[in-house]
Amino acid sequence: MWLHLLLLAVCTWLLPFCMGLLPVRYMKEEHRSFGMIWLAGWMMMFAVFQLMTVPFIVFEASFTVAMHCYTIVIGILAVIFLLLGRESVPGCIRKIKEHKPEKGQIPMMALVLLLIALQLFLAYHMQYLDGDDAFFVATSLTSQHTDAMYLFTPYYGANGELDIRHALSTEPIFMAWLSEVTGIHVTIICHSYISILFLALMYCIYVQAGNQLFPLQRKSKWLFLLFVNLWYLFGNVSIYTAESFAYTRTWQGKAMFPNLMIPALFVWLLFMAKDEMDVGEWAMLFVIVLCTTFTTSTGIFSVPVLLGLAAVLLAVQKKKAILIPQTLACLLPCIFYGLLYLLLK
């Protein structure tokens, strides 16, 4: 059992950490932090997975071959990124030392961390029997069992044609990869581990947002995070809200989209609005857009709406027309997968 847990730790902590080092190295000094490394690392892992796996799916290659290729590539990339990006670490350590919490902000900080810890604890101990798991989790398990991707209907196991409506969003296959590498049943991974991990990742993104919104007022940042916590905890007003999805389907791509991808895009829009886009930030914006297609096909249509509108508004406000083609370039993954979908439909 310990070996399985060790492998899980390597895949979900060490690998994202290594993968995040290089992009963060090329980001502005003020954006660098361990949280940003972890966030960027996850996005890199999703993006590489999406880029690599879609061709295997479209050409109906076996799951095993696709997963072996990804494991090798991500392993090599992690080593390269670690070597090239290790310079990011001292800066992050220095930042922690310099930003020790002030006495006055400790109670609020403790309250926020306690609330988050409580949510992570309950994510493990409580369950929500969601019907859509019959598709998403069963797709992961079916891929492992049949050694094929999106060719068997997960609902009852019959062989069919390539399910192109879902095939371009590879998130369930990513969970199957995680299960394959660690040797842990994919349903346990999704329901008892990813449910915790991605909630933590979500709050990590909100911490980055708080850093941007309140760069100098740290007390306000923790108050912002407290309100975010309450908003989420009490956001189960209908089955449609992003907040309901965050707790009841954390491991599904369509929950990752509004709770990980959209907040991350807003963090990057804040960078853009504050003229804090360096090479690393632009590269990561491209990567996050790619990740939105990884999570759900909804992203292929809706992300261009969000970023397109944001780019136009920012270009007008800043009198900086260049923002429009720059953002358009970052939207290429949506355009590419949108066209691919139309071609294969």
Partner 1 sequence: MGDIVRTTLTIYQNYGGGSTMTVIVAAAILYLWVAEDKKEIKVLFVHLTAGILALFFCPLFAWAAMKFFLDSQVYYRLLWLVPMGMTVAYALARAVSKIETRRKRIVISTVFALLLVQSGSLVYRNPMVTKAENLYHLPPSVISVADAMRVEGRDVKAVVPGEMLQFIRQYDASIHLAYGREALVDGWSNNPLYEAMESSPVRSFAITDYAKQQGVEYIVLRAGTPIAGSKPISKYEFSYLTTVDNYDIYIYDRAKFAAEKKAEFGILASGDWEENYIQTQ
Rounded-to-integer distance, Cα 308 and Cα 205, Å: 22
Position 217 contacts partner 1 (CB under 8 A) = yes
Rounded-to-integer distance, Cα 187 and Cα 230, Å: 29
* Beta carbon of residue 254, minimum distance to partner 1 (angstroms, whole number): 8
Structure tokens belonging to residue 27: 């980001």
| Strand partners of residue 158 | none
* Beta carbon of residue 136, minimum distance to partner 1 (angstroms, whole number): 9
* Beta carbon of residue 94, minimum distance to partner 1 (angstroms, whole number): 27
Q: Which residue, among 251, 57, 79, 87, has the nearest Cα to 168 in the 3D structure? A: 57
Nearer to partner 1, 73 or 308 (CB): 308
Interface with partner 1 in residues 116-145 (CB under 8 A)? 122, 124-129, 131, 133-135, 137-138, 141-142, 144-145
Looking at residue 199, its amino acid is L
**Are the CB atoms for 263 and 250 separated by under 8 Å?**
no
Burial class (CB in 10 A: 0-12, 13-18, 19+), 215: exposed
Relative orientation angle of helices 34-58 and 88-98, to the nearest 10 degrees: 140
* Beta carbon of residue 77, minimum distance to partner 1 (angstroms, whole number): 30
Q: Report in angstroms the alpha-carbon separations of 292 from 31, 40, 298, 334.
A: 22, 14, 8, 8
Give the total of residues touching partner 1 (CB under 8 A).
Answer: 79
* Beta carbon of residue 133, minimum distance to partner 1 (angstroms, whole number): 6
Interface with partner 1 in residues 292-311 (CB under 8 A)? 298, 301-302, 305-306, 309-310
* Beta carbon of residue 92, minimum distance to partner 1 (angstroms, whole number): 24
Position 35 contacts partner 1 (CB under 8 A) = no
What letter does residue 261 receive in the DSSP assignment?
I
Nearer to partner 1, 59 or 238 (CB): 238
Those residues whose C-beta lies under 8 Å from the C-beta of residue 117, and which sit 6 or more positions away, are none
What letter does residue 104 receive in the DSSP assignment?
G
Position 270 contacts partner 1 (CB under 8 A) = yes
* Beta carbon of residue 5, minimum distance to partner 1 (angstroms, whole number): 12
Which x/- pattern over 89-108 shows residues binding partner 1 (rule: CB under 8 A)? --------------------
* Beta carbon of residue 36, minimum distance to partner 1 (angstroms, whole number): 17
Rounded-to-integer distance, Cα 11 and Cα 14, Å: 6
Which range touches partner 1 (CB under 8 A), out of 85-93, 164-172, 217-225, 282-290? 217-225
* Beta carbon of residue 25, minimum distance to partner 1 (angstroms, whole number): 25
Position 156 contacts partner 1 (CB under 8 A) = yes
Interface with partner 1 in residues 170-199 (CB under 8 A)? 185, 187-188, 191-192
Structure tokens belonging to residue 185: 């049943």
Residue from 17, 81, 247, 337 in contact with partner 1 (CB under 8 A): 247
Residue from 11, 39, 78, 228 in contact with partner 1 (CB under 8 A): 228
Burial class (CB in 10 A: 0-12, 13-18, 19+), 327: buried
**Residue 215, SS3?**
coil
Residue from 62, 71, 105, 220 in contact with partner 1 (CB under 8 A): 220
Q: How many CA atoms lie within 13 A of 176 on its CB side?
A: 28
Position 161 contacts partner 1 (CB under 8 A) = no
Position 326 contacts partner 1 (CB under 8 A) = no
Residue from 29, 100, 161, 240 in contact with partner 1 (CB under 8 A): 240
Residue from 274, 325, 329, 339 in contact with partner 1 (CB under 8 A): 274
If phi over 0 gives left and psi between -120 and 50 gives alpha, with beta otherwise, what is residue 147?
Answer: left
